[in-house]
């Protein structure tokens, strides 16, 4: 079964074509992606601006045209944080349907965490036992825990790397004052969740997203002795280094793209504060995330 999975996120619009069959891992066939930073088009009133809407429509039509020769059995199209929060989201969705023929479904934050957790659970396997999952996106941080495929706890908080950069960080390199304000905000946001999430000392902790992947690569460059897993010790060592760098210096680091260099400091601070508050020592990197979770859930529905 060949599926198109269209993900309209806060940073990128990504059309992933996958070959998927029940009982086997989804395999990437072809990928089409554009970075448009949709969240930056949200106005002070919370609306997606006309420019933002038009940018989205043009991008979706370009991606559709790029993939027009691929025969798909189905298209799964969804939007996350930026569209979810837009006060004019219904108007935007109607424009997308009218102009592109795409029926975008807006995922709630809890559903985003739940689908991602399903992908993580299938990837790590049952032997991993109780799992705690963290996923730092552009607009939000998803957290989920559980021993089964359906998490016992799933939640989304507005602590995405792009959002935190725009909301708090100033200067180049970023000022100590703005970094401290960001840290305080992250702690204030996550502390009320600590009791609901529970004890993570005996859980398998998993990180999924490009933010964690980039941070793990940076840790391997500076502290190869810490191994392949991103650790709390590693984060505490690399975050001060990243915070003192200019944008150009961060962009020159191996594994850090030009776009990622803008927001990696905020992502690193969110990651460090989260693992510290939640008592996580190390994070296993999972290559599967939301898109794979959507595909796996679709296959499960078809089987039932």
Query: Which CATH number is 100's domain given?
Result: 3.30.420.40
Please check the confidence at residue 91 and state whether its pLDDT lies above 80: yes
Edge-first strand listing for the sheet containing 131-136? 153-157, 141-146, 131-136, 204-207, 282-285, 230-231
Q: What's the pLDDT at 304?
A: 61
211 and 65 in a common domain: no
Q: Domain range for residue 280? A: 110-285
205 and 56 in a common domain: no
115 and 173 in a common domain: yes
180 and 34 in a common domain: no
148 and 254 in a common domain: yes
128 and 100 in a common domain: no
User: What end-to-end distance do the CA atoms of the chain give, in Å?
Assistant: 16
Residue 292 domain flag: no
Per-residue pLDDT tens over the stretch 239-251? 999 999 999 999 9
Please check the confidence at residue 155 and state whether its pLDDT lies above 90: yes
138 and 172 in a common domain: yes
214 and 118 in a common domain: yes
- Look at the chain and report how many structural domains it folds into: 2
238 and 222 in a common domain: yes
Residue 293 domain flag: no
58 and 9 in a common domain: yes
Whether pTM exceeds 0.75: yes
Per-residue pLDDT tens over the stretch 206-255? 999 999 999 999 999 999 999 999 999 999 999 999 999 999 999 999 99
Q: What's the pLDDT at 68?
A: 95
Residue 304 domain flag: no
Q: What percent of the chain has pLDDT over 70?
A: 100
Residue 303 domain flag: no
36 and 171 in a common domain: no
């Amino acid at each position: 079964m060949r599926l198109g999975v269209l993900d309209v996120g806060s940073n990128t619009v990504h059309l992933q074509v996958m070959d998927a069959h029940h009982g086997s891992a989804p395999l990437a066939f072809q990928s089409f992606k554009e970075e448009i930073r949709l969240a930056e088009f949200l106005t002070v009133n919370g609306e997606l601006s006309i420019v933002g809407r038009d940018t989205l429509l043009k991008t979706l039509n370009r991606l559709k045209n790029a993939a027009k020769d691929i025969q798909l059995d189905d298209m799964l199209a969804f939007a996350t944080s930026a569209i979810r929060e837009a006060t004019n989201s219904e108007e935007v969705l109607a424009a997308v349907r009218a102009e592109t023929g795409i029926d975008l479904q807006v995922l709630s934050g809890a559903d985003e965490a739940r689908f991602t957790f399903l992908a993580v659970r299938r990837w790590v396997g049952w032997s991993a036992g109780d799992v705690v999952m963290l996923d730092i996106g552009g607009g939000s941080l998803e957290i989920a825990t559980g021993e089964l495929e359906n998490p016992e706890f799933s939640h989304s908080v507005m602590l995405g790397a792009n959002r935190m950069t725009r909301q708090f960080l100033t200067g180049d390199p970023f000022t100590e004052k703005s970094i401290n304000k960001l840290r305080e905000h992250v702690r204030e946001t996550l502390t009320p969740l600590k009791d609901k999430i529970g004890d993570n000392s005996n859980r398998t902790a998993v990180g999924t997203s490009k933010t964690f992947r980039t941070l793990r690569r940076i840790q391997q460059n500076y502290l190869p002795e810490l191994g392949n897993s991103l650790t709390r010790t590693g984060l505490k060592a690399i975050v001060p280094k990243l915070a003192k760098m200019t944008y150009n210096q961060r962009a020159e680091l191996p594994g850090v793209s030009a776009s990622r260099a803008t927001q990696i400091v905020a992502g690193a601070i969110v990651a460090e504060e989260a693992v510290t508050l939640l008592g996580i020592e190390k994070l296993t990197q999972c290559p599967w995330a939301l898109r794979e979770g959507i595909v796996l859930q679709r296959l499960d529905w078809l089987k039932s």
